[in-house]
Amino acid sequence: MNETPKDRLDRWRACAVLHVDMDMFYVGVELLAAPGLRGRPVIVAGAGNRSVVLSASYEARAFGVRSGMPLARARAMCPQAVLLEPHRDAYDAYSGRVMAMFREITDRVEQISVDEAFLDVAGAVRRLGPPVGIARGLRARVRDELGLTASVGIGANKTVAKIASTRSKPDGLLLVQPEDTVAFLAELPVSALWGVGGRTAEALTGVGLRSVGDLAAAPVPMLTRLVGRAAGHHLHELANGRDPRPVEPVREEKSVGAEETFARDVADDRVLHETLLRLSHRTASRLRRQGLRARRVGLKVRWADFTTITRSRTLQHPCTSAHDLLEHGVGLLAELGDRPQPVRLIGIRAERLEPATDALQLSLDGREEEWVAAEQAMDRVHARFGAERLGPARLLPPAPRKPEGNSEAVDSRVRGANSAPDGLSW
């Protein structure tokens, strides 16, 4: 029987969930500025052996290097790898451009990290054609316009699409039709299912349930005895290709923040304050990019013996500026009093987030608004020229010494970076 246009649209809409996952995203962004490193093992991580791997090229992964691994271990496994320090502002900027591309296709975009998202394109197929064509066009656009690659999985639901994108890496595309879903899942290990961690996988394999097909055929009472009632039912549904969760366009951010582990423990207030300044700018930039503001600021400090404490304060007026985040962060640090040990890690968080478009009571002297305007201008410079072109003067490297007698010589970087609103300085 011939397929009618309506039948065709219905078929496309029955398998219209895309999971897009950027390939080695941090490495990919770094290689845009260092194309000569393509094809070589590359690791993105902060300096110092206490750091962890943020991202690794596929050449480094061949040696066993993985994200989240201690840098010291990664370097031992792949000593020939090139180590690149992260540029987080660049990652946020490219992430914003990628997500904007997604939202041009459909308003049903659920971003789940800086480099991956679900898209429900059921509403776009009449205009753009089948989901596989949409995915091909999207991958081509990301490659041509940004110089990055993405892997895409397509399925009838989020679980299938997520697994399909993982199986298509690197730089691939995999479509799993609804009628093929159970067979596709059956041969996979139980750990492939979303939410099956090490302990759950150990409990399942301990009774002979090694594949997703084993899990799909297992009696539900058996699964509930092993992993609990709710988890047992949930895993049985997933193993049989059933996942009713919709793609949710709005994900409520509970907090936004940044932290840094020092290569050596720090007792110097100047270093701690400069680090908080850098982290405050990183956090405030994310707030503004996402159209959010914070009603509470949190501080995280980890001592040399790994003891970790957190402190927070609720703000009288919500904020989006790094200046305000820094002011409260430094205040919280001072409230700790005499520190018992040097600091191993410090971080700052913006909490109790709300849309920045809501009505806001302005400060009496206008200083808060001046800071926001100044930092928004800096955002525009970063978007056009890169994050290295403009920043707080306190974070710039020391200016080169000038010949004696040239009293009017001023380092141009400091002159440009110190142009803050009157009466204010970083």
Catalytic sites, residue numbers: 116
Dig out the tokens for 234 from the structure: 């949930």
Q: Please check if 115 is assigned to a binding site.
A: yes
Q: Where are the alpha helices (DSSP H) in 62-112?
A: 71-77, 88-105
Please give the Cα distance from 82 to 68 (Å, whole number): 17
Give the gyration radius of the chain's Cα atoms: 25
How far apart CA 166 and CA 174 sit, in angstroms, is 9
- Distant-in-sequence, close-in-space partners of 29: CB < 8 Å, separation ≥ 6: 87, 90, 91, 94, 148
Give the separation between CA 307 and CA 300, rounded to whole angstroms.
11
- Non-local (6+) Cβ contacts of 338 within 8 A are none
Is residue 21 annotated as involved in ligand binding?
yes
Sheet containing 308-319: give its strands across.
Answer: 255-266, 343-355, 292-303, 308-319
3-state secondary structure of 119: strand
Measured CA to CA, the distance from residue 56 to residue 38 in angstroms comes to 12
Q: Encoding tokens for residue 168?
A: 């298509």
| Nearest CA among 147, 127, 150 for reference residue 19 | 150
- Distance between CA atoms of residues 154 and 169, nearest Å: 13
Number of other CB atoms surrounding residue 264 within 10 Å: 10
Beta-strand pair 42-44/55-56:
antiparallel
Q: What are phi and psi of 247, to 5 degrees?
A: -75, 120
**Residue numbers belonging to the annotated binding site:** 21, 115
Binding site as annotated, residues for Mg(2+): 21, 115
